[in-house]
Amino acid sequence: MIIKNNTIYDVSTALREAVFEYPTDGLTVEIKYCPRGSRRYISGTYYRVARNYENGKLIRLRINRRNSYPVAVQFKTSEYYRRRDTKGREIIYQKLRTVLFHTPEDLILAIFLHEFSHYLDHIEGRNGRYKQTKADKFAISMLEKLGVI
């Protein structure tokens, strides 16, 4: 795994240690800052196809340098609940789990693990559709295993 970190945050060792059990050959991770004026606290994308990257295998993370910590991030769960709207129709909602991240390094690790789940789906030949809950559950389980949350 190649890590290209253009931020001040020292996360390379944490990222490598978090996924040492998994295959990472050919994977590139880019860590950058969000563009100025961005309202996102962080964003992450896994590219199955990317220019200048053989077979894709690119995770790009962008963190906002103006974040104030702790930052609350919502992760999807596999639990659902039902409610009725004002017209009496039953609506199904997905339960979310909110996690507070007290450092930028932990926030970067969490989003990296989410995107890493998409990478694993790719190398295992699964399609990339409808996998956000699975990726969130993977990230949460790994963060718990690592003692971050």
More confident residue, 49 or 136: 136
CB 80 within 8 A of CB 95: yes
Q: Quick: pLDDT tens for 59-91.
A: 999 999 999 999 999 999 989 999 999 999 999
Looking at 49-131, list the stretches that DSSP marks H as alpha helix, in order from N- to C-terminal side.
Answer: 104-123
Beta bridge partners of 100: 72
Neighbours of 47 (CB within 10 A): 18
Amino acid letter for position 21? E
pTM of the model: 0.91
Residue with structure tokens 């053989």?
54
Q: Where residue 34 falls among pLDDT bands split at 50, 70, 90?
A: very high
